[in-house]
């Protein structure tokens, strides 16, 4: 992405009135263009003088992370999210022969910059139908490496390798992760596996949001390398080949050029265009082969990506959830529930405490900004320190 495009995108995002903005610099591989990445990071800092309100993440395969670049990213407070599936067999399925490179990288980071490693590094594991049986080994390996934040997600498109028999194996793997995590928590007081550390689960009968995600309301914008914006990057037809059925959703989410004068108007019209497409709505009408979401005890906490619905081969039913996503969500939410029970409710209590503290901090910053005692956004062409 050329710098002029990156800057236009950042200006748009940073000039929103939102008090809390998350920016994810991802690809492809964003480190292939580290010059633009560096300029973007400096620009964000300069544009908003209240960096606590802007969280920037770079998502990378990790193979191009040099010591200099890492120092830069840590120094500027970025989260470095490395896609890494743990043990060599699982990593080979997705990332070629990169296990040794990433294994050495984690060792180097932990030894040289232990504080930055703990604070800024997240490992993102993607489970495929073909790698389920290595999932717990992967988490065990990352815990042993001292990783403090481990995200685990299922493949977001359809996975032909997930079969009826895969569910039992997924259950066993998540069970093992649960036991490893309880043991780890007792030893260290930490919960690195993100799906276990989330907010307390909603009670049965809690209200369920009708929308599946933030894409149709313009709260999850993606921008491609040409500067074209989308309600969600997963529907960007310029970035990936989409199944024919996704075309209608992609058209609705297409916001055109990020710096075009018509952009604000198209963004304002987005909920009207996309918010009525059934693929994004009617959460309670969704179902998988395992059952109806309306009857599932986890429906208020379960996140289903509409893009995954489009990728089911031959599917024309906007309410049909891929079985892999349903199974993954169910077993991980059930594990979170059990983790909380096994730790005597301390985890959800701690989570609530942390959230309250974070909200109080946010309120204080917003108050300062409104009173003019903290610096306001100062961005603009002349502030570009590139």
Q: Footprint of ligand SF4 on this chain (CB under 6 A)?
A: 286, 288, 290-291, 293, 296, 298-299, 302, 304, 321, 326, 329-330
Closer residue to ligand SF4 (CB): 71 or 290: 290
Q: Is 13 in contact with 21 (CB distance < 8 Å)?
A: yes
Q: How far is the CB of 204 from ligand SF4 (least distance, A)?
A: 12
d(CA 254, CA 256): 6
Pull the structure tokens for residue 218.
């313009």
d(CA 83, CA 156): 14
Closer residue to ligand SF4 (CB): 247 or 290: 290
Residue in 327, 283, 302 with CA at minimum distance from that of residue 163: 327
Closer residue to ligand SF4 (CB): 185 or 298: 298
Residue 371: CB atoms within 10 Å:
8
Q: How far is the CB of 306 from ligand SF4 (least distance, A)?
A: 12
Residue 170: CB atoms within 10 Å:
22
Pull the structure tokens for residue 291.
């059952």
Pull the structure tokens for residue 42.
């400096």
Q: How far is the CB of 294 from ligand SF4 (least distance, A)?
A: 8
Closer residue to ligand SF4 (CB): 36 or 157: 157
At 58 the three-state DSSP class reads strand
Q: How far is the CB of 194 from ligand SF4 (least distance, A)?
A: 17
Closer residue to ligand SF4 (CB): 233 or 321: 321
Q: How far is the CB of 336 from ligand SF4 (least distance, A)?
A: 12
Closer residue to ligand SF4 (CB): 53 or 299: 299
Work out the burial of residue 373: count CB atoms within 10 Å of its CB; fewer than 13 is exposed, 13-18 middle, 19 or more buried: exposed
Closer residue to ligand SF4 (CB): 61 or 332: 332
Q: How far is the CB of 290 from ligand SF4 (least distance, A)?
A: 6
Q: How far is the CB of 70 from ligand SF4 (least distance, A)?
A: 37
Cα 274 to Cα 60, 208, 258, 267, distances in angstroms: 30, 19, 18, 11
Q: How far is the CB of 296 from ligand SF4 (least distance, A)?
A: 3
The residue written with tokens 């009670």 in the block is 203
d(CA 373, CA 259): 31
Q: How far is the CB of 201 from ligand SF4 (least distance, A)?
A: 12
Q: How far is the CB of 165 from ligand SF4 (least distance, A)?
A: 18
Closer residue to ligand SF4 (CB): 290 or 317: 290
Closer residue to ligand SF4 (CB): 254 or 301: 301
Q: Is 199 in contact with 351 (CB distance < 8 Å)?
A: yes
Residue 311: CB atoms within 10 Å:
19
Residue in 46, 4, 42, 25 with CA at minimum distance from that of residue 376: 46
Spell out the alpha helix ranges (H) of the chain: 3-14, 34-47, 67-75, 88-95, 99-112, 114-120, 135-144, 166-188, 247-253, 263-274, 306-310, 323-342, 346-371
Closer residue to ligand SF4 (CB): 234 or 333: 333
d(CA 238, CA 227): 11
* β-sheet with 150-154: strand ranges across: 21-25, 54-60, 79-83, 121-127, 150-154
State whether the Cα torsion 379-381-385-386 is positive or negative.
Answer: positive
């Amino acid at each position: 992405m050329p710098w002029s495009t990156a800057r236009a995108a950042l200006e748009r995002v940073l000039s929103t009135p939102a008090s809390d903005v998350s920016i994810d610099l991802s690809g492809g591989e964003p480190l292939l263009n580290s010059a633009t990445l560096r300029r973007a990071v400096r620009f964000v800092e300069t544009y908003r003088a209240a960096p606590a309100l802007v969280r920037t993440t770079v998502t990378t395969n990790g193979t191009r992370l040099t010591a200099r670049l890492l120092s830069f990213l840590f120094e500027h407070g970025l989260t470095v999210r490395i896609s890494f599936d743990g043990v060599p067999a699982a990593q080979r399925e997705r990332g070629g022969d990169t296990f040794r490179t990433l294994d050495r990288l984690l060792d180097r980071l932990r030894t040289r910059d232990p504080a930055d490693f703990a604070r800024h590094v997240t490992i993102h594991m993607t489970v495929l139908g073909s790698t389920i049986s290595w999932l717990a080994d992967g988490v065990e390996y990352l815990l042993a490496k001292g990783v403090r934040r481990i995200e685990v997600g299922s493949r977001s498109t359809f996975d032909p390798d997930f079969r009826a028999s895969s569910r039992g194996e997924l259950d066993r793997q998540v069970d093992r992760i649960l036991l490893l995590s309880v043991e780890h928590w007792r030893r260290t007081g930490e919960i690195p596996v993100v799906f276990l550390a989330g907010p307390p689960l909603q009670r049965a009968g809690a209200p369920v949001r009708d929308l599946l995600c933030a894409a149709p309301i313009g709260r999850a914008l993606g921008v491609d390398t040409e500067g074209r914006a989308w309600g969600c990057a997963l529907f960007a037809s310029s970035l990936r080949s989409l199944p024919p059925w996704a075309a209608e959703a992609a058209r609705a989410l297409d916001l055109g050029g990020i710096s075009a004068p018509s952009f604000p108007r198209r963004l304002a019209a987005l909920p009207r265009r996309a918010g009525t497409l059934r693929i994004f709505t009617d959460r309670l009408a969704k179902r998988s082969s395992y059952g109806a979401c309306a009857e599932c005890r986890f429906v208020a906490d379960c996140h289903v990506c509409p893009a995954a619905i489009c990728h089911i081969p031959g599917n024309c039913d906007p309410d049909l959830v891929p079985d892999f996503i349903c199974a993954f969500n169910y077993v991980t939410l059930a594990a979170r529930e059990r983790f909380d029970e096994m730790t005597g409710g301390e985890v959800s209590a701690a989570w609530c405490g942390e959230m309250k503290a974070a909200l109080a901090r946010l309120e204080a910053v917003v108050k300062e900004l409104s009173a003019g005692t903290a610096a306001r956004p100062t961005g603009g062409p002349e502030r570009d320190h590139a």
